[in-house]
Amino acid sequence: MFKRILIANRGEIACRIIKTARKMGIETVAVYSEADKDALHVEMADTAILIGPPPAAQSYLIIEKIVAACRESGAEAVHPGYGFLSEREAFPKALEAAGIIFIGPNAKAIAAMGDKIESKKAAAAAKVSTVPGHLGVIADDKEAVKIANEIGYPVMIKASAGGGGKGMRIAWSESEVAEGFARSKSEAKSSFGDDRMFIEKFIVDPRHIEIQLLGDKHGNVIYLGERECSIQRRNQKVIEEAPSPLLDEATRKKMGEQAVALAQAVGYDSAGTVEFVAGQDKSFFFLEMNTRLQVEHPVTELITGVDLVEQMIRSAAGEKLSIKQSDVKLNGWAVESRVYAEDPYRNFLPSTGRLTRYRPPVERITGGVTVRNDTGVYEGGEISLFYDPMIAKLVTHAPTRLEAIEAQGDALDAFVIDGIRHNIPFLSALMAHPRWKSGALSTGFIAEEFPEGFHAIAPDGERAQVLASVAASIDHVLGERKRNISGQMTGRNVMRDSQRAVWLGDKEYKLEVKRETGTIAVRFPGESKPRHLASDWAPGDPLWSGEINSHPAAVQVRNLPNGFALSYQGVETKAYVYTETEAAYARLMPVKVKADTGKFVLCPMPGLVVSVAVKEGQEVKAGETVAVVEAMKMENVLRAEVDGTVKKINAKPGDSLAVDAVILEFA
């Protein structure tokens, strides 16, 4: 076994690998860019080596710098994590030439599966179900139209070297094929330096299901069940689970055996994943093979009890698999949510800045429920604009799917993040969504259920009553505290009426609140019994965590002038608690009207101004590009919403702007 390994990655996956290496008694070496000098993975590793400036193209993607770091540190092997160099055939070759072992598959297997056209040919040869399509390189848009007509619509136009949704278009007609082919080819050229395209049949209402494989260097390959990754946004996974609610045992076995056959055909010898597109009728077709550890590997680890990172390390060291196919048993259900630094209310634009609060739910195993949080950040750390916006992967495991979903919802409610925007409200809303709970999934789920994007959910029904109850409870605790201030002159005790009016958004809820032994009792009109709230919440705590009628609940709390900002199960609302007299006066207060910002172009997220396309005095039509802003490797084109004349430009290329900073103003 290795004494020292280097992790050629950053963030949560680097931290994840360090944990397993530490458990195995292996020393770890971290590499870091100048932007990551204070990163968590640097602190956790035994040794850390600086490899360059913040941009990944000048640090984490430079093979020579990784090899040099191995020589400097004496690392015998390298784990690539995922992304960066993990699926670059040249990387294991360079390591081998330097006498360093690659903790991953051999270079030939990476090459065979890294090219989407060649991988489909290999899959067909291994008798794996493949999507009908044309696997040859397509010369131009005319040939693309001809092939699409032969296959039948709709079709998927894809880049051979593609990934992450880039270089990919769905076409429903000849005109869409011609246009989509040109756009995808151009996108593939700029993203991957490879503009080879292919076309295949697009499966309507598809599901994304993948099989986890494990192989060793002795010809053994097994499969560890499947993961369902159908909840996607713009072809990027958002929520994953294992097993899939679609599959039965017979389909699982058939998919697993086909995945193993493909792996054996290319001599696969590490952890890897074969991805399938599945129909609602349980038909399935090969999509691609990922020759690395997947982001969503924890859900498989929790239902199988197998540490995939450990198995990769052991395989790379030449050990035989200690697990046979007959040993693999799927236990319970696991759900993973990807927590990203992005603003769900602004079309998921990236959000950068300092984590002024970062308090994830406590990792635990209690009552048959596991809560696990894979992360690479800490309170006080910074979310950089140079890398992927992932903050954490929150994973829950329970005996049944609904129990795992409920545990995930509770854990998301208890996940406190301040300083940046994040997608937890969106994830919480998904966990409460009836269609998600029913398992009626497809890759179009988010687009179908949130066609206008994600907007703040108004409190209603049971969620509104929970929020009103918690607001009244918090107000009552604060009132008790004020009435018990020490050093007061003796005299008549201050009494306060128990009737309250709680304002949530634009709705008012009347209730009665009283202190009872160990709990606070809240009763709404018409209810025969009060709700009993038990919590050790204290003023200043960002989380109200406790029980409502003995059922666990967590509500996030932020102070506002005379009120609270509360969030729970995807609902974010302002709450104001009044006595009846206070409420009568509050109703008379004028409503503050928001300022009109229609004449301004505002920066939608913290970012860098790439270009400004207009000049002062220029006439601009609605829809015209006025500026481009970049954040987290994503360029965002800002367009004029109305016709107008540019009055003033406040930003220039190279400027770093905060969210809502004014870029330009119209007359």
DSSP 353-375: EE-SEEEPPPPEEETTEEEEEEE
pLDDT band at 572 (very low <50, low <70, confident <90, very high): very high
Q: What pLDDT shows up at residue 658? A: 85
CA atoms within 13 A on the CB side of 220: 14
pLDDT category, 597, cuts 50, 70, 90? Answer: low
Q: How many CB atoms lie within 10 A of CB 593?
A: 6
Least confident segment among 10-14, 378-382, 562-566, 606-610: 606-610
**CA distance readout (Å), 487 to 247, 437, 491:** 68, 54, 12
Q: What is the pLDDT of residue 359?
A: 97
Residue range 426-446: mean pLDDT, rounded: 96
- How confident is the model at residue 121, as a pLDDT? 87
Give the pLDDT mean for 239-262: 97
CA distance 565 to 555: 10
- Looking only at the bridges linking them, the beta strands covering 4-7 and 77-79 are parallel
Q: Which of 287, 297, 289, 294 is nearest to 266 (CA)?
A: 289
- Residues 114 and 289: their CA atoms lie apart, in Å, by 8
Q: Are the C-beta atoms of 201 and 146 separated by less than 8 Å?
A: no
What is the residue type of 514? K
Quote the tokens at residue 553: 């609940």
**What residues contact 445, with CB distance under 8 A and at least 6 apart?**
230, 231, 232, 435, 436
User: How many beta carbons lie within 10 A of that of residue 549, not counting itself?
Assistant: 13
Instruction: List, in sequence order, the alpha helices (H) in 90-140.
Output: 90-97, 107-114, 116-125
DSSP letter for 308, please. Answer: H
b/e 626-665 (16+ beta carbons within 10 angstroms → b): bbbbbbbeeebebebeeebebeebebeeeeebebebbbbb
**Residues classed as catalytic:** 288
488-498 average pLDDT score? 73
**CB atoms inside a 10 Å sphere around CB 529:** 8
d(CA 637, CA 626): 8
pLDDT score, position 168: 85
In this prediction, residue 578 carries a pLDDT of: 95
Within 8 A by CB and 6+ apart from 11, the residues are 39, 41, 376, 377, 387, 388, 390
When the pLDDT of each residue in the chain is averaged and rounded to a whole number, the result is 92
Contact (CB, 8 A) for 42 and 48:
yes
As a whole number, mean pLDDT of residues 396-425 equals 97
Q: What was the pLDDT predicted at 485? A: 76
Averaged pLDDT, 362-387? 94
105-118, pLDDT tens digit by residue?
999 999 999 887 78
- For the stretch 37-94, pLDDT in tens is 999 999 999 999 999 999 999 999 999 999 999 999 999 999 999 999 999 999 999 9
| pLDDT higher than 90, residue 237 | yes
- Phi and psi (nearest 5°) for 250? -65, -45
Q: At what angle do helices 249-265 and 116-125 cross, to 10 degrees?
A: 110
Determine how many CB atoms are found less than 10 A away from the CB of residue 253.
13
Query: Tokens representing 581?
Result: 């007299």
When mean pLDDT is compared over 148-162, 167-181, 393-407, 585-599, the highest value belongs to 393-407
* For range 296-321, the mean pLDDT: 98
Residues in the chain: 667
Query: What letter does residue 35 receive in the DSSP assignment?
Result: G
Please report the pLDDT score of residue 235 as a whole number.
84
More confident residue, 243 or 517: 243
Question: 653: cis peptide before it, omega within 30°?
Answer: no
Q: pLDDT tens, 340-365?
A: 999 999 888 888 889 999 999 999 99
Ramachandran category for residue 23: left, alpha or beta (phi over 0 → left; psi -120 to 50 → alpha): alpha
- Per-residue confidence (pLDDT) for residue 187, from 0 to 100: 80
**Mean pLDDT for the stretch of residues 200-221:** 94
Cα–Cα dist 339/341, whole Å: 7
The pLDDT of residue 204: 84
**pLDDT confidence bin for 632, thresholds 50/70/90:** low
pLDDT of residue 282: 94
Asked whether 396 and 427 are in contact (CB, 8 A), the reply is no
The mean pLDDT value for 425-453 works out to 96
Q: How far apart are CA 10 and CA 40, in angstroms?
A: 9
* Predicted pLDDT of residue 182: 87
168, 116 contact by CB (below 8 A): no
User: Helix, strand, or coil here: 51?
Assistant: strand
| pLDDT, position 362 | 95
Helix 401-413 with 424-431: angle, nearest 10 deg = 150
Q: What is the pLDDT of residue 495?
A: 66
* The pLDDT value given to residue 349: 84
Residue 291 has pLDDT above 70, yes or no: yes
- Helix count (H) and strand count (E) of the chain? 17, 40
Least confident of 214-218, 363-367, 457-461, 636-640: 636-640
* % of the chain surpassing 90 pLDDT: 74
- CA angle, 108 as apex, 106 and 114 as ends, to 5°? 100
Dist. CA 47–CA 29, nearest whole Å: 5
d(CA 312, CA 88) in angstroms, rounded, equals: 17
Give the residue from 640, 630, 163, 600 showing the smallest Cα distance to 350: 630
Q: Which domains does the chain have, with CATH numbers?
A: 4-103 (3.40.50.20), 120-131+207-331 (3.30.470.20), 132-201 (3.30.1490.20), 338-433 (3.30.470.20), 461-483+497-586 (3.30.700.30), 600-666 (2.40.50.100)
pLDDT score for 633? 60
Residues of 5-19 as b/e, b for ≥16 C-beta within 10 angstroms?
bbbbbbbbbbbbbbe
pLDDT of residue 494: 62
Per-residue pLDDT band for 410 (boundaries 50, 70, 90) equals: very high
Q: What is the pLDDT of residue 505?
A: 86
Percent of the chain at pLDDT exceeding 70: 98
pLDDT at 525: 95
Work out the pLDDT band at 136, boundaries 50, 70, 90. confident
Q: Of all helices (H) and strands (E), which one includes residue 345?
A: none
The whole-number pLDDT of residue 165 equals 66
